[in-house]
Amino acid sequence: SFLRVFELAMLVVVLGAVLCAASGRRLALDLGHPEVTIVMLTTNTTLSRDRVSGFLAKTPVDIRSNVHFFTGVNHRDFTQQAEMVDRQGLAELNSQQKNNGKVFPPGSKERSPGAFACALGHYALWEQASETPGWTVVLEDDARVMPGMNMDKLLRVATSNQGGAPEFVWLEGRPCGPGFGTAAYALSQAFARDLLKRFRFHRVVDHFLIQEVAPRNAHGVCPPFADMPFTHGYKVGDQGLEGESEIRSA
Q: For 102-131, what is each residue's pLDDT tens digit?
A: 999 998 888 999 999 999 999 999 999 999
Residue range 71-113, pLDDT digits in tens: 999 999 999 999 999 999 999 999 999 999 999 999 888 899 9
pLDDT of res. 108: 87
Residue 42, H or E segment: strand 36-42
pLDDT of res. 208: 96
Contacts of 33 (CB under 8 A, 6+ apart): 134, 151, 155
Please count the other Cβ atoms lying within 10 Å of the Cβ belonging to residue 172: 24
pLDDT of res. 32: 44
pLDDT of res. 7: 44
Backbone angles phi, psi at 144, to 5 degrees: -135, 140
pLDDT of res. 69: 97
pLDDT of res. 107: 86
**β-strands 143-145, 168-170 pairing:** unpaired
Please count the other Cβ atoms lying within 10 Å of the Cβ belonging to residue 57: 8
Sign for the pseudo-dihedral over CA of 12, 14, 17, 22? negative
pLDDT of res. 234: 56
What is d(CA 44, CA 124) in angstroms, rounded to the nearest whole number? 16
Residue segments in the chain with a per-residue pLDDT below the cut of 50: 2-32, 34, 236-250
Sign for the pseudo-dihedral over CA of 62, 55, 168, 43? negative
Residue 184, H or E segment: strand 184-188
DSSP 231-242: EE---TT--TTT
Give which of 165, 222, 219 is closest to 188, Cα–Cα: 165
